[in-house]
Amino acid sequence: MVMEEGGQRDRGRGTPATAGGDGRQIFKELGDQNLDAICLSTYRTACKLRFIQRRCNLHLVDIYNVIEAVRDAGLNAVELHAGISVIRLENLVSSLFNQLSKRLPTTHTINARESTVLLVEFLLAAIDSEPDSRLTVFSVKAMLSTLCGGKLIDKLRYVFSQVSDSSGVLVQSKFDGFLREALKLPTAVHEGPSFGYTHTLARSCFPQQKRVMLNMFLDVIADPPQCLVWLPLMHRMANVEHVHHPVTCSYCRGNGMTGFRYRCLRCRGYQLCQDCFWRGNASGSHSSQHQMKEHSSWKSPATKLGRALSRTLGCVSSREPPHPIYPEEPERTLNLANIVPTRPLENTSEAMLLSSSAPESSKSLAAAQRMNEEHALIAAYVNRLQSSPSSVDSPSRQDEEHKLIARYTSRLAETDSSGVIPNRSINFDVNKQKRELIAQLECKNREILAEIKCLRAQHDAACQASPEKGTTNPTLLAELRLLRQRKDELEQRMSSLQESRRELMVQLEGLMKLLKDEEQRQAAQAAGSSHASPSRPSPSTVRSVGAASPPVHMYPPQDSLAGVGGDVQEAFAQGPRRNLRNDLLVAADSITNTVSSLVKELHSDDVREEEERLLNGKDRAG
């Protein structure tokens, strides 16, 4: 049972549906959408019902799914005005969404229970929106066919089949009942003042026609009356939900529009998105009273020009009719008594084969029907003989038997002369070949499935055996632990070497700073001496003075170079002056190369030790 309260309510009349928690939920969610801000009642009603349709996942169900669910529930053989209980309605809606969840792909799933609860509560709320109303088979069919998705033309054909007689003529009383039930949906979403039911609506839809056939009914609904104008609009809204228009809205300045696009016929270049137009927004010289044109697709200027030229040159055919032209008289159902077998079919392939063996001509159908009648007579006679064995030798029984044999013989002679028996034998031979082919294919399919199952079992066994084999060898586990420990030691040594290298780089930076300061000091002394002497000394004199100056002021003490590489010591050694910055960079590069070579040697020794241990471990494992 879908809802706990379902078994306690019998819907001859019941409590209002909005009293339930889920009923309040769907109407609360509808109120959160702020759809009452839409000024136009037609768009407001269509938006509300479209939200109900999407929230209950009815947009994924077409009219054929509804027909199938109604037949499965056994409501197609029940009188239209017969009342049904809430439990039966719940079972119908539950089967509808369960079948839907089976058809949907795995990437798109729905909550069938939640959808069932919400839809049942909304339908009950729609029934209770009108006083003195009750839940009937016709109300369920009308509401589900109106709210479901799919093509509008298919839904209208189903509605006409429910409101017409056997000759295909609309019955005004039935159509009036459909309007009464269908208009409960707008009333349930508080749009009754605009689209409520009145007793004159059915006559206003077809004021002059006495006999309304299917095509006339579809023509009127294609250009709907005022009471049903929201129904085709709801379908058009569903078709344009993902249509994008690369145009900027003239009011909200949104970059691009989705859905409908509205263009003013008076203000040049003034276009509004659907949200702004529905809420009556306007800016500049534009007014909400101006006439607007609705666009449901985007066409580039080149496409418009091409269509205009084609229309001018007569290359485009005239406007197609809004719907196909259907025959006025309803199609008669075929007598399938000779096709449907007397026993239940085990699979669908057998049903297809039996249906393919049916005669196609009316003559063969009549002959097959006569043969079925004869078979029925024989079966009835045999049953009577079995029920009364004492009358086997009676004269009346012999006369009846003779008459039955003579009648059956004459029928066989007629069928033999008409050529039905050879056709049936050919059909049976064809069916036999098809059955043999299907049996061979099914055998091959079973073999393939067995091979797939075997391969899957082998793969699972191999996947399970490999980790067990690795975990049961203690020698390999010990080697792995030693390797991890050695790896940690090498990483620690590497980090210590990197730290010492950073310290050396810091010391080199300090030496570079001292050299830079000394160079600046010497440059300042040279500038001061040049200002003091009237004549500029020669370069040889400067070099001699620089050589005669005490070395303590030019270079750092020799004791501070202890432990530094030869390149650094050479940079600070006595002798002719060199480029100290380049010498320091060379010394830093040599230290870096020495450290990296040391690290590589250590790493190579560790790699060799690891390889030897792995080889020893494999030998011991072997």
Q: What confidence category does residue 92 fall into, taking pLDDT thresholds of 50, 70 and 90? A: very high
- The mean pLDDT of 43-64, rounded to a whole number, is 92
Contact assessment for residue 372 and residue 358, using Cβ atoms and an 8 Å cutoff:
no
d(CA 52, CA 469): 59
Is 90 a residue whose pLDDT tops 70?
yes
3-state secondary structure 240-274: CCCCEEEEECCCCCCEEEECCEEEECCCCCCEEEH
Contact assessment for residue 221 and residue 156, using Cβ atoms and an 8 Å cutoff:
yes
What confidence score (pLDDT) does residue 425 get? 46
Is 138 a residue whose pLDDT tops 80?
yes
Is 94 a residue whose pLDDT tops 90?
yes
By the 10 Å C-beta count (0-12 exposed, 13-18 middle, 19+ buried), 450 is classed as: exposed
HSE (side-chain half, CA atoms, 13 Å) at 472: 5
d(CA 52, CA 25): 12
| Listed ranges 309-313, 449-453, 610-614; the one with the highest mean pLDDT | 449-453
Give the pTM: 0.51
What confidence score (pLDDT) does residue 211 get? 83
Structure tokens, 119: 């839809």
Is 513 a residue whose pLDDT tops 80?
yes
What confidence score (pLDDT) does residue 460 get? 85
User: Quick count: other Cβ atoms within 10 Å of Cβ 475?
Assistant: 13
Q: What is the pLDDT of residues 538-596, one digit of tens each?
A: 444 434 444 444 443 444 444 444 444 454 555 555 444 556 667 677 777 777 777 77
HSE (side-chain half, CA atoms, 13 Å) at 604: 6
Q: What is the pLDDT of residues 161-188, one digit of tens each?
A: 999 988 888 888 898 899 999 999 999 9
- The mean pLDDT of 467-488, rounded to a whole number, is 76
Contact assessment for residue 357 and residue 427, using Cβ atoms and an 8 Å cutoff:
yes
d(CA 605, CA 237): 75
d(CA 594, CA 602): 12
More confident residue, 340 or 260: 260
What confidence score (pLDDT) does residue 306 get? 67
| Cα angle for residues 188, 192, 195 (degrees, 5° grid) | 115
What confidence score (pLDDT) does residue 66 get? 92
| Listed ranges 242-246, 327-331, 373-377; the one with the highest mean pLDDT | 242-246
Which residues on neighbouring strands pair with residue 271, listed in sequence order?
263
Is 222 a residue whose pLDDT tops 70?
no
Kindly give the interhelix angle for 230-239 and 41-55, rounded to the nearest 10 degrees. 60
Q: What confidence category does residue 76 fall into, taking pLDDT thresholds of 50, 70 and 90? A: confident
Q: In Å, how far are 32, 43, 295 from 274, measured between CA atoms?
A: 19, 10, 10
Phi, psi for residue 118 in degrees, rounded to 5: -65, -45
Average pLDDT score, the chain: 75
